[in-house]
Amino acid sequence: MHTFDRQDCEQTGYGISLKGRVVVLCGSAIPAGQQGQLFFCTGGNGANPNPMGRTVFLVSLTTGEECRAYRSDVVGTLKPELLPEEAKLQLSQIRPSGALDLGTNEAQYSAYSFLQDGRYAAGVWLCSAKEAADYVAMQKDYQHRVLICDSDDFAVLEVVDGKQIFPDEQTMEDNGSSQEPGAGMRMS
């Protein structure tokens, strides 16, 4: 197993936001029962730039379990190109922070993230266009392809290598403020 350090990080220090990024933890700080150094940061007072608090909320990209650590335990944010494929598949299964409970809310979208070779894990259910946009924002720097489908399983948004390819710019302009599925889900 590869050991990640500062050279593997795109950003380090307290002046950066960790929320919505894959972070590297110091080997000595890995929470009990967890494996690996790679975690997705979902928030916490310690996740903000120049944080007032210390705690960061994390999801293990080895086990998918939620845990917490201290900001001082974070080496930095991992360079996206260094994220191993198995960690990408685990990342694809994380719903955005603040996503509505699927037990009491109806899913409106399904989201999929694909590796370069076409492999993917099961889809993730999302309850709103905002959740779909948040999912794409979480995934687009790390995944080769992200696909959002509506409840009828029709594609409404596709991002490849961090760039939106469907709907294209012309279609977005033609639809303007239309209420079509996917309207308002434009990614930058």
* Whole-number average pLDDT of the chain: 91
Cβ pair 91, 61 in contact under 8 A: yes
Please confirm whether the linkage preceding 167 is cis (ω < 30° from 0): yes
The dihedrals phi and psi of 139, each to the nearest 5 degrees, come to -95, -30
pLDDT over 70 at 158, yes or no: yes
Please write the tens of the pLDDT for every residue from 95-149. 999 999 999 999 999 999 999 999 999 999 999 999 999 999 999 999 999 999 9
Quick one: pLDDT band at residue 34, thresholds 50, 70, 90?
Answer: confident
Residues in the chain: 188
Q: How many CB atoms lie within 10 A of CB 67?
A: 17
What letter represents residue 106's amino acid? E
